[in-house]
Amino acid sequence: MKLAAWLLVLGAFALTARHANAKQPLRKLAVFSILFYLLCLMPTSSILATVDCLVERRTYLANFGLVVLVLALLHAVSKTRPRIATGLAVALALSASSLTLHRNETFRSARSIWEESLLLYPTSERALSAIGLIELSEGRTTGALATFKRLLELNPKRISALINLAGIHGDRSGSFFDPPQALDLYKRALLIDPAEPTALYNAAWLYVMDGN
């Protein structure tokens, strides 16, 4: 996958370099579109592995370059094949509308967005953490507990997961109230970051409640 990404980017740069001095307006526009797309992504994206596999919003501005290229191609086709150009334009408009409606279904809630992220990227720590917090906010403590445990299986040093689990076990009104377990989780978090304020504060309160 990484090799394919490298080859794609290098191929795009090679293509633009080859046609940079082209006399045909369409070729010049193609060079502009490809370079615009890549340059818009460069400040925030990388073909090397990062925290997120893909961040959709970063392509919004970059896609302007692709839209310009598609419109230019349709305009070129319309000069000799107007009916074909019209048919392609209608097909593209319908496809874009259909995809937008489908995407809006995903965007109906924070949960559905993160669930799709987790479906596409099952090992995403950020998606798991977000879903766990959503479960907590909705009062689904059992689901939150399972999600944070799964997150710790992926990354035993994920401090936020340790603290959230400890919070569940430290909640007096909850079904999973277990002060020793909560204290143990806070201690694990403090072994990773001795200055973590939430873990320090809540661990201290657990000692106070225990009369220590």
Q: ∠ at Cα 159 (158, 162), nearest 5°? A: 95
Q: Output 59 or 161, whichever has higher pLDDT.
A: 161
Say if residue 152's pLDDT is above 90: yes
- Please provide the average confidence, as pLDDT, over all residues in the chain: 85
pLDDT band at 47 (very low <50, low <70, confident <90, very high): low
Q: Which CA distances in Å does 12 have to 7, 18, 48, 145, 162?
A: 8, 10, 17, 46, 44
What are the pLDDT digits (tens) for 168-184?
Answer: 999 888 889 999 999 99
Q: Average pLDDT for residues 149-175, to the nearest whole number?
A: 93
In terms of Cβ atoms closer than 10 Å to its own Cβ (0-12, 13-18, 19+), residue 162 is: buried
Please check the confidence at residue 20 and state whether its pLDDT lies above 60: no
- Euclidean distance between the first and final Cα of the chain, in Å? 54
The more confident residue out of 50 and 98 is 98
